[in-house]
Amino acid sequence: MLQTSADAPHFAAGAHRIREERGYKGLFFSRLRKDIAAAKKNDPAARNKFEIWLTYSGVHALSWHRWANRLYRMHLKLLARMTSQFAKFLTGIEIHPAARIAPGVFIDHGAGVVIGETAEVEEGVVIYQGVTLGGTGKEKGKRHPTIRKNAVISCGAKVLGGFTVGEGARIGAGAVVLKEVPPYATVVGVPGRVVRINGEKTQDLLPDKDDPILREVCSLRERIYELEDRLETVCGRLSRDEDAAKRGDAADHADVAGISEQNEVKPDENL
pLDDT for 1 equals 41
Q: Which of 152, 191, 145 shows the shortest CA–CA distance to 169?
A: 152
- Collapsing DSSP to helix, strand or coil, 269 comes out as coil
Alpha-carbon distance of 41 to 214, in angstroms, equals: 39
Do 160 and 177 touch, CB atoms closer than 8 A?
Answer: yes
Q: Which residues contact 160 (CB under 8 A, 6 or more apart)?
A: 132, 134, 135, 136, 145, 176, 177, 178
Do 43 and 106 touch, CB atoms closer than 8 A?
Answer: yes
Q: What is the pLDDT along the chain (271 residues), one digit of tens a residue?
A: 444 555 555 445 444 454 444 554 557 778 888 888 888 888 888 888 888 888 888 889 999 999 999 999 999 989 999 999 999 999 889 999 999 998 889 888 888 899 988 889 988 899 998 899 988 877 778 889 999 989 999 998 999 988 889 888 899 998 898 888 888 988 888 888 888 888 777 765 555 556 677 778 888 988 999 999 889 888 888 888 787 777 766 666 666 566 666 665 555 555 4
CA distances from 13 to 25, 26, 158 (A): 18, 20, 45
44, 126, 169, 119: CA torsion to nearest 10: 180
pTM value surpassing 0.75: no
pLDDT for 3 equals 47
pLDDT for 198 equals 82
pLDDT for 257 equals 61
Residue type (1 letter), 165: V
Between helix 8-42 and helix 57-73 the angle, nearest 10°, is: 150
The DSSP bridge partners found for residue 106 are: 126
pLDDT for 16 equals 47
Quick one: CA dihedral 149, 154, 160, 165, positive or negative? negative
The DSSP bridge partners found for residue 264 are: none
Quick one: CA dihedral 142, 87, 107, 92, positive or negative? positive
Alpha-carbon distance of 82 to 173, in angstroms, equals: 31
DSSP 181: B
Residue type (1 letter), 32: L
Cis check for the bond before 191: say yes or no (omega within 30 of 0).
yes
